Structure 1
Amino acid sequence: MRSGTDVAYDDVNELIATATRLMQKDAAPDTLTPDDVRKIGEELDIPARYVDQALEALARRREEQAREAQVQERHARLRRVRLRRSAWVGAAVLGLLAVSGLVVRNGLTSTLSDVARQRAQVRNVVERRESLRARQDTLTPGLSRDAELSGADNRVAIEQRRYDERAADYNASAASFPTGWVVRLTGLPHVLPLSSEVSTW
């Protein structure tokens, strides 16, 4: 309120009470000595021994509160240490998973390259066999021609078997745990076809 503002009679008691509380708060010390408490007790006709017992009880309660605060602080500190350790362990596990994922991916990529090379080899021997058949059709049938065609067929079968072995290795690896997760995350093929499933090389 600014000075010069009128005060209603109903508000006077409340204003005076508030002013008195503020004045007492400013005048009163924040702490009292045990002797001050004993003097107050004397004024209130409380024997000194009861005041001393009350002071001892207060001291014990404050000691307990201090101990509890220390215990709580210790527990909080332990919790923080555990959380920090858990964070480090979590980070280490994630790092380990990332590194192992890269290793697994590199292994799968290498196997996939082997499969691609073997597939190219199958394509090569199939093309040579077809070329040989085209030339052999102009020749007269005989043991020599049949042996050459049989050899070409055998080379194709051998290369297809090698391809199947490599593709089966990749498929088994890609289907296993945790490699299957790496396959899904990196976009590598889930399954490679075997030679019986390939129509054209």
Structure 2
Amino acid sequence: MVRPLEERFRTARDLFPEYRVETVKGRIVVNESGTWQHNTILFRLLLQLTGAAAGRGWEIWPNITVYLGEHADRYVPDLTVVPAAPRMHEEHAVHGDATLLLADVVSAGSGYDDYYVKPCGYAPARVPLYLVIDPFQRSVKLFCDPSGGAYATEIVVAAGEPLPLPDPWGLAVDTSRLM
């Protein structure tokens, strides 16, 4: 008998606690820790977001599963910004519509999922902002305004250009400091 995906996901997460375990299009994906370059980009983004987040009582979480619905995939973005006391699905999963910003840094094998698959899962779950930082293309893409199961707005800037974040952020990401 084949076990349901949710059960296999939990088993994989329990077997590999030091890795990022996600379900993407019905497959279980186990990712190693990021490279030093990947982590440096995340650190530089974190430095830019921390003031705005802390000033509003928000929190920035690494390695939390985003709950997108009962039969939907389970993604684990590199960074998740949540308001104080967000709505949780379980201890390890926050509801997508209870987030403020999700961010991923593209790695060698994640480009397709980060650019195409994950936005198709995040938008129907009403994730307000999804930021994709691509050191290979030297660009940053922001998906925003989820409506009708898709993102109505996609903004792409080259590394070095500012990327304004919509309300309630009131700040622009200095992409020259990311890569």
TM range, smaller chain = under 0.3
Q: Name the structure, 1 or 2, with higher relative contact order (CA <8 Å, separation 6+).
A: 1
Looking at CA atoms only, which structure, 1 or 2, has the larger radius of gyration? 1
**More helix by proportion, 1 or 2?**
1
**More strand by proportion, 1 or 2?**
2
TM-score, normalised by the number of residues in structure 2:
0.19
